[in-house]
A and B are shown apart, each in its own frame.
Chain A
Amino acid sequence: MGLLSRIGNVFRPDRLRREVDEELADHLACAAEEGRGPAEARRALGNAVRHREASMDIRMAGWLDALRSDVLFGIRQLRRRPVITAAAIVSLALAIGAVTSAFRLIDAALLRPLPVADPHSLFVITYSFVNDVTSKADEAESFSYPQFVELREAVKGKAELMVVSYSSRVDLTYGGDDAMERGYRQMVSGSHFRLMGLQPALGRLLSEADDKTPGGHPVAVISHDYWTRRFGQSPKAVGQTFRLGTVLYEIVGVLRPGYTGTETGVMTDFYIPAMQNADAIREPGWQWMRVWARLAPGAEVDPVRQALQASLTANRRERVKLWPADTPKEQLEQFVHSRLELRSAAAGVSSMQRNYRRPLWVLGAVVLLVLLIACTNVANLLTAQAAAREKEMALRVSIGAGRGRLVQLMLVECLLLAGSAAVLGGLFAWWSAPFVVRMINPPEIPARLHLPADWRVLGFSVLLALLVTVLFGMAPALRASGVKPASALKGGDDPHARRRLMNVLVAAQVAFCFLVHFVAGLFISSFERLSNQPTGFATNGVVLLETQVKGNFPANQRPQQNWEEIREKLRGVPGVQKVALSSFALMGSSSSSVAIRIPNRPPDTISPYLLGISRGWLDAMEIRLLSGRDFTLTDRWGAGKPDGPPVESRVIVNEAFARRYFDGQDPVGKSFETHLGKQNQLVRNEIVGYVRDARYRDLREPIRPTIYAPMGESGWGTFAVRTEEQGAVSQGAALRRIVSEARPEFRVVNVRMQADLVREQTLRERLLATLSLFFAAVALILAAVGLYGVLNYAVVQRRREIGIRIALGARSAHVARQVSGDVFVMLLVGSAFGLGAGLAGERFVESLLYEVKGTDLWRLATPALTLLGAALLAAIPPVFLATRTDPATALRNE
C-alpha cells in the first residue's frame, strides 16, 4: 500500500473508477434492502461523482496522475507534428549518442579505475627530461632493472615497488614454427599479483619466489580472457608449455576475470617474471619497463617521492662521472636534476592514454558543441511551436492552470523528446564507441578497450537527457507559461520578442558551428600535411621479417655469412626483387643513437640516430646515394674485439648530418669520433657514403642527423624484402617458412609491411580528422536546419505584413532582404564569436597539430564560406515562399 500502490493505481484508473462505482452501487443496494427509498438513499449518499473523484484522488498520487495525463497529452502533441518531432529526435539522438560515446571512450580510456585492490594507492614513477630534438621538457617512465633495485631499497617500509614491463605483442607457439600465434606479454615482478590484490582462477600466480635467478623462472600466468579464447576455459591449460623466442614456458596459473593488465588499451594475454629478461637484469643502460609503487597503508606520497628522488639523483651523479669530460655543463645538470614524480596509476598507464588523452578531451568538447547546436535547434523549433500554442496556453491559464503546471506540461513534452533521443543515441553510442576504438590502432594490432555498458554509462545518459531537456526546454517552457491570457488571446503584445529569442539562438548556433568547423579544419590539414610527408624511402611492396637467432652460431662460422646465406635464399623466391638486412625496421618503434665528436668542434647536445644495415639495403629501400659508395661485405663498424686486430670503422651519413656538422658539404672522406664498446673506447669513423634524408622513427620530428653503419654480428635483424606489389601481404607466411628452412636456428618472430608502419604514424591524426569532419558535417546540417526553421517561422509569422508590402508594390529583392536580413546579421555575429573562441582555444589543440596554424587567412575563410553556403541553401525555400506571397490570400486568411 502507500505510495507504491498509489503509483500503481495511476496506471489502472479505469479499474479503480469501476471499483469505486461498484462499491457505491452496493451501498445503495443495501439501503434498498433495508427498505429505504432509492431516491432518498441516493440523496443521502450525495453526489456520487464527487465521492468517486475524492476517492480516486486518495487512491492515486495526485501529481502522478497529472503527470500521466501530461505524458499522454505530450505524446499526442508530438505525434501531431511528426516531421518536426522526427527532426528534433534525430538531431538530438545524434548529438546525445556522440556525447555518450565520447563519455564511454573517455571513461574507459582515462577515468575508470583498474579492477584491483585499492587502485588509488597505486602510482607510476616518472622523471623529467629535455627532449634533445625538440628541446622541450617532457616526462619519461622507462627504467633499467639495476635502477629499479636501488629505488626499491630507498623506499623500503614506505612503499613497495614492482617492475611492470611494456605490454608487447610477441609470437609464440604451442607446437612447431609453422603454428605461430600472437599474444600480448608483460614481464612483471613476482610481487605484482600480490600487490595488485589479484587471485588465481586456477593454479598459482607469480610470487616473490619467481624473482630469484635471471632466466631461471620459465613460467607464465595467463589472463582469463586469453584462457577463454585460446583454451575454451579448459583446466588442462595449466601445465601446457609454449615457446617464446627460444625459451619454453609453462603455464602455471590463470587469473580471475576482469584484470586485463596495467595498460589501458592493450589487453595482456600472459605474464612472465621480469627475471626472464635475463640479459637486462644487470644492464644499467637498458630501460625497458615502468616502475609501479604501491604505497604502504597510511603512507604519504611526498616522503616516498623525496626518498625516490634522492636515490635517483645519487644514481645519476655516479653515472655522469663516466661521461666524456667535455660534455656541456647544462646537459649534465639537466640529467642530474631530473625531477621524479609519482603519478596516479589508478586508471592504468599506457601509451594509448598518453597519445589520446588530449584528442579524446578535444573530441569530447567538439561533440558537446554539436550537442549544444542540436539543443539550440530544438529550442528554436519549440519556440516556433509555442507561438502556435500560445492561445492554448492562454486558455489553460484562464481556466485556472498554475504556472508550475504549465512548465511541467512543456517540460514533459521536452523530456519525451530527450528520452526518445537518448534511447536512440544510446544505440548509436553502443555502435560507435567500439568503432572509434578500432580506429585507434592498426587493424592487425587492435586497441582493446573494455567498454562496459554499466551504471556509469547509464547514469551519464540519464543525466545527459535531463540536462538536455532543461537546456532546450526551459526557455520555451518559461515563456509559454508566462503567457498573459488577455493579450495572448488578442494576438500578443510583443510579436517580435519571440523572434528576437530565436535570433539569439541562431547566433549561438552559428558560433558553435563555426568553432567546430575551425577545429575540424585544423585537424584535417594536419592529417593531410602529415600523410603527404615524404618518407624518403620506398614503402610499397616492402615486407619486413623480424628475425631472431636461437642459441649460438656454430663456432667456425661468421654470423654475417649466415645472414647472407638466408638473404640469398629469400632472393630466390619468385616475385622477390631485392632483399637486404637492417638491425630493425625504419618507422617501427625502435631507435638507437650514438654521441659523436667532430674533430675541432665542441661536443653536440644531440646524438645522431644510428642504424645497422647490410650492403644493398639502401638500394632495396630506394634511399639514393648522393656520393661515395654503399658498404661492402668487409666494412666494419666499432672498435672490434679488444684482443682482435684493429678495425677501420666505416659509416654512411645523411644530408641532415652533413648540414649539421659539415655545413652541407659532401662529407665523404671526412671522419668523426665515437665512444664505443665496454671500454668506452674512442673510435674514429670514416664516412664512405652520403645519402638522401629518410625518415627514421617519427614523421613529426624534424629529420635528424643519421648514421648508417655496417651491421655486425647480431642475434637480431630485420629483412627488408622488396616484392612485386601484388600479393606482398600473402607472401609473408611463405617468406617466414623459407627463413627457418634455410637455417633452423633462425626464426622469424614478426612479419610486417613497411607501408603499414608508415601509415600507423598518422593513425591519431586520421582519427581526429575523420571524426572532426563527421561532426563538422553534422553541425553544419543541424545549423542549416536551424536557420531554415527560423526563417520559415519569420516568413509565416509576417505573412500579412509581407502581403501588404507586396500589395503596395515592394519588389521581390526587397522582400527577400526584409525577411533574411536579421538572420544574416546573426550569421555574422555568430561567426565573429566562433572565430574569437576558435583562436582563443587553438592553444589547447596546438600539440595535436602538424605544421598548421589557425591564423592562416584561408583557414579562417573555409568555415565562414561553408557556413555562408549552408545559410544560403537554408534560406532559399523560405525566402522564395516570402516573395511568392499572394497578398489577396495572405490577407484573407487573417
Chain B
Amino acid sequence: MARTDSLQGSLDLLILKILSRRAPLHGYALMTAITEISGEVLRVEEGSLYPALHRLEEESWIQAEWITKENGRRSRIYQLSEEGKRRLPMEETRWTSVSAAIHQVLKMA
C-alpha cells in the first residue's frame, strides 16, 4: 500500500474539498475523513493539520467557531467561507492541470 506523506500543497485542497461537502467538522474528524475517503491511502500527518487549518483561517478561506459537545468539551469546528467557496474550483482546476501534466510526463518519459 502506497503511503503519501508529501501532501504539501494538496493538504489545503483536501481540507477545502471535504469541508465543501460535509457539515462543519473539527480537526480530528477532518483527518479521519481524509483517511477514510482516500481508502487509507492518504494519511495526514496529525501535527501539520492544525497549522494548515489556522493558515486557511487567516486567509479567510475557512471559518472556525467553538462549539460545546454533549460531554462538555469544547471543540473548534471549521467550515468553508464564501471566499473559500469561490476559491475551491480554482484550486481544483490548478490541481487537475498539474496532475495531468505530471501524468503526461510519466507516460512520455
Contacts and interface: CB of A to CB of B under 8 A. Distances in A.
B28 interface: yes
B21 interface: no
A392 to B, nearest CB: 33
Nearest to A48: B47
A45 B60 contact: no
Interface string A50-84: 11001100110000000000000000000000000
B65 to A, nearest CB: 12
Interface string B51-79: 10011011110000000000001111000
B47 A47 contact: yes
Interface string B20-59: 0000001111001000000000000111001100110111
What is the predominant secondary structure among interface residues of chain A facing chain B? helix
Contacts of B29: 30
A38 to B, nearest CB: 14
Contacts of A5: 58
A2 B60 CA distance: 7
Given A5-B58, A20-B50, A23-B76, A46 B45 contact: yes
Contact of B46 (A23, A45, A50, A54): A45
Nearest to A24: B50
B28 A30 contact: yes
A29 interface: yes
A741 interface: no
B51 A54 contact: yes
Contacts of B60: 1-2
A23 B27 contact: yes
Interface string A16-36: 000110111011011100100
A27 B58 contact: no
B55 A58 contact: yes
B28 A45 contact: no
A6 interface: yes
Which of A23, A46, A47 neighbours the largest number of chain B CB atoms within 10 Å of its CB? A23
Which of A19, A22, A24, A30 neighbours the largest number of chain B CB atoms within 10 Å of its CB? A30
A44 interface: yes
Nearest to A28: B28
Contacts of A59: 54, 57-58
A19 to B, nearest CB: 7
Contacts of B45: 46
A29 B72 CA distance: 12
Contacts of A45: 46-47
Q: How large is the interface on A (under 10, 10 to 19, 20 to 34, 35 or more residues)?
A: 20 to 34
Contact of B47 (A26, A31, A46): A46
A31 B28 contact: yes
A26 B26 contact: yes
Given A27-B46, A30-B28, A58 B58 contact: yes
A31 B32 CA distance: 10
Which of B28, B75, B76 neighbours the largest number of chain A CB atoms within 10 Å of its CB? B28
A30 B74 CA distance: 11
Nearest to B26: A26
Contacts of B59: 1-2
Given A6-B58, A58-B55, A51 B73 contact: no
Nearest to B61: A1
Interface residues of B, number: 20
Which of B45, B51, B59 neighbours the largest number of chain A CB atoms within 10 Å of its CB? B51
Nearest to A55: B54
A26 B27 contact: yes
A865 to B, nearest CB: 66
Contact of B50 (A23, A30, A31, A44): A23
A466 to B, nearest CB: 30
A322 to B, nearest CB: 85
A871 B26 CA distance: 72
B35 to A, nearest CB: 11
A30 B27 CA distance: 9
A26 B47 CA distance: 13
A24 B74 CA distance: 11
A50 B51 CA distance: 10
A70 B53 CA distance: 29
A55 B51 contact: yes
A54 B58 CA distance: 13
Nearest to B52: A58
Contacts of B50: 20, 23-24, 27, 51, 55
A890 B80 CA distance: 71
Interface in B75-94: 75-76
Nearest to A29: B73
Interface string A450-462: 0000000000000
Contacts of B28: 26-27, 30-31
Given A1-B58, A45-B46, A26 B75 contact: yes
Nearest to B57: A1
Nearest to A6: B58
A55 B26 CA distance: 16
Given A26-B28, A30-B28, A58-B55, A19 B76 contact: yes
Contacts of A54: 51
Given A26-B26, A26-B75, A27-B28, A2 B47 contact: no
Contacts of B27: 23, 26-27
A160 B47 CA distance: 79
Nearest to B60: A1
Contacts of B74: 22, 26
A592 B22 CA distance: 98
B100 to A, nearest CB: 31
B79 to A, nearest CB: 14
B47 A58 contact: no
B18 to A, nearest CB: 16
A45 B51 CA distance: 12
A29 B55 CA distance: 23
Contacts of B55: 58
Contacts of B76: 19, 22-23, 26
Nearest to A30: B28
Contacts of A26: 26-28, 73-76
Contacts of A1: 57-60
Interface in A642-683: none
A47 B46 CA distance: 10
A59 B64 CA distance: 13
A46 B46 contact: yes
Contacts of A31: 28
Contacts of A51: 47, 50-51
A42 to B, nearest CB: 10
Nearest to B81: A1
Interface in A2-18: 2, 5-6
A441 B74 CA distance: 72
A382 to B, nearest CB: 38
B104 to A, nearest CB: 35
A24 B55 CA distance: 16
B33 to A, nearest CB: 12
Given A1-B60, A19-B76, A58 B46 contact: no
Nearest to B31: A27
Nearest to A61: B58
A81 B26 CA distance: 51
Contacts of A50: 47
B75 A58 contact: no
A45 B59 CA distance: 24
A58 B51 contact: yes
For the complex of A and B, the 7 pairs showing the least CB-CB separation, nearest first, are A46-B47, A30-B28, A1-B60, A54-B51, A55-B54, A45-B46, A58-B54
Given A19-B76, A26-B73, A26-B74, 20 more contacts: A1-B59, A1-B60, A2-B58, A2-B60, A5-B58, A22-B74, A23-B50, A26-B26, A26-B75, A27-B46, A27-B50, A30-B26, A44-B47, A45-B46, A45-B47, A46-B45, A46-B46, A55-B50, A58-B54, A58-B58
19 contacts: A1-B59, A2-B58, A2-B59, A5-B58, A19-B76, A26-B26, A26-B27, A26-B73, A26-B74, A26-B76, A27-B46, A27-B50, A30-B28, A44-B46, A46-B47, A58-B55, A58-B58, A59-B54, A59-B58
